[in-house]
Structure 1
Amino acid sequence: MSDREPEVVRRLSSYDVTRLDTAITVIQTRDPALARILKAERDVLRDHRNQLDAFATRMKFGSAAPWHPEGVMDWLIAQGWAPPKGLLMAEGEQEGQVDR
């Protein structure tokens, strides 16, 4: 396992969301437009954190299943990820089928 920081996926803590909640509370009576912008950012962070939590749970409890890699990819695709060309089986191809 690598100890490097992720290059693509942002790591979030509860503090990130709580900090925005606090800013929204302070700002909303003085600048409603800015409060709306911060609420939108907070909602994006919450969604991101929830998706990371769901992925972590799926990885933790499914890793012993023989179909786990395919199940994780199915889950990623359902979340909007587009796999690289050639990664999925061609339409009509059966698992275990060998090309001759």
Structure 2
Amino acid sequence: MRPDHRRRTQKAEPAWHVSEEVFQKTVIGTRGSDLALVQAAATERALSQAFPDLRITRQVIRTTGDRRTDVALAQVAKVEGTDKGIFTKELEEALRAGEIDIAVHSLKDVPT
């Protein structure tokens, strides 16, 4: 390691920084299934331990897969005319729209 590099890194700010705005309110979006709620709670606990001042709220979002119980799961995307994940699309849209700050997905819900 060069001496000038060592001096720079010793005085440097942390590589990550959480702005004060984040501490006002951080919204976690999740589905309402039992597994999704457990995973969201685990995410909330981990964030709270890492950032004790963080104020977290949870927003449960009903997805296409949650609403379309009248159609076999294998057919929902086809019936809805979408190629997006039927259990992830609405969470991703809410994230892009700024309605939530974090989306908690179950790996089994993520399209492959």
TM-score when normalising by structure 1: 0.30
- Between Structure 1 and Structure 2, the one with more strand by share is 2
Q: Which has the higher contact order (CA 8 A, sep 6+)?
A: 2
- Between Structure 1 and Structure 2, the one with more helix by share is 1
TM-score when normalising by structure 2: 0.27
